[in-house]
Chains A and B, each alone.
Chain A
Amino acid sequence: MHETEIKDEEFLYRVVKVNPNLWKEEEKRPSSASFKDSFGVSVDRQGGRTKEKVIFDFIERFGQDEIKAVIRVTAGFCRDKGAFIKNDINDDGSNDNHALILRSENEITLTSSVARALSKESEIVHMNSDL
């Protein structure tokens, strides 16, 4: 079990699915559209795991063929952009690393500017080039 506090240096991981396509092949990064969500941007905290373990957990949960890429940003970068990160452990206890990136403590959806910044800052840690 990880610490509840999300430190600035902690990585937040996000899956970019194959369908629908939200990946920009030429720019080699996700579209900022992938960071626009009515319920907040769903991410997994590093939670004391290795990068490889995080990727493995995603693949196990969603399936290799469903994942175009796994990207990550630091919590500190999100906060620098004014976003708020909230722990959001799944009710069924299936994922205690789940968190949400929100516009602020009281607002959910990110601005276009912040979504764009996240897409540009995203570091690719896993890429399924066959898809």
Chain B
Amino acid sequence: MIIETATITDSKGRKNDLSKVRSSMGNTRYGQKSVSVFVSHGGGSVYATNKKNRFYAGSTPCLYNLVSTRTRATDRGGVQSVIYGVDFDIRENAMNSNKKKVLSFKSLPTNWNLHGASPVSEMVVNKACQLLLLLGVYQPQVFPTARNTVQFEYETDKGYLEFEISEDSIQYFKELGELEEEGSVESMDEVKNLVHQFYA
């Protein structure tokens, strides 16, 4: 279960750790009408909102992408929305979803890019999957390239970070404002450090 810095702040500024929300599923009521839930990936925030207030759930790379709500009639005849909790299995879901995508890259048909590309090799796919596991909550967007590599991308308002995983190396490219930096990393742990620095 990944909670980290995530909290929900209600309209009175009270902060609730998401684990508490989770543990009181069905009991955390904000008394708001028409609460809806928005989701953003890659550094955005999750928040539940009505027209007046937003209830934020932190701003770490957002993997809390399932917040279920129910509306029900109150004793006074109004409508009350209840946040039933955040699915903390999402980290796993996002990772699994990425893993599934990356695994599919080795089954791409020959000429998948209409310009003679081959599927991504098993070695690259396995390496990319290992890295996804290591990155935990910081799941990237994943893409195949037509040069037998898998690309991981992080993009926020702050900048852009990319890793290109090949059979014999991992290259990175970083863009922060006008500044660009590229190079190769020596280990998977270094990838993790670069990602942490990016979000620091």
Contacts and interface: CB of A to CB of B under 8 A. Distances in A.
- Asked if A and B bind, the verdict is yes
B51 interface: no
Given A33-B143, A116-B160, A20 B41 contact: no
A32 interface: yes
B155 A27 contact: yes
Q: Which 8 A-B pairs have the closest CB atoms?
A: A112-B173, A33-B143, A36-B145, A37-B146, A33-B151, A42-B115, A38-B147, A31-B143
B149 interface: yes
Interface of B: 40-42, 104-105, 108, 112-117, 141, 143-149, 151, 153, 155, 160, 162, 164, 171, 173, 175, 180, 182
Interface string A104-127: 000001011100100000000000
6 contacts: A31-B141, A36-B145, A37-B145, A37-B146, A39-B117, A111-B182
Contacts of A24: 141, 153, 155
Interface residues of A, number: 24
Contacts of B153: 24, 31-33
A22 interface: yes
A15 B114 contact: yes
Interface of A: 15, 17, 19-22, 24, 26-27, 31-34, 36-39, 42, 62, 109, 111-113, 116
B146 A36 contact: yes
Given A31-B141, A112-B171, A113-B180, A20 B108 contact: yes
Nearest to B180: A113
A33 B144 contact: yes
Given A31-B141, A37-B115, 18 more contacts: A15-B114, A20-B108, A20-B112, A27-B155, A32-B153, A32-B162, A33-B143, A33-B153, A36-B145, A36-B146, A36-B147, A36-B151, A36-B164, A37-B113, A37-B145, A42-B115, A113-B173, A113-B180
Contacts of A26: 40-42, 155
Contacts of B115: 37, 39, 42
B146 A112 contact: no
Contacts of B42: 26
A38 B151 contact: no
Contacts of A113: 173, 180, 182
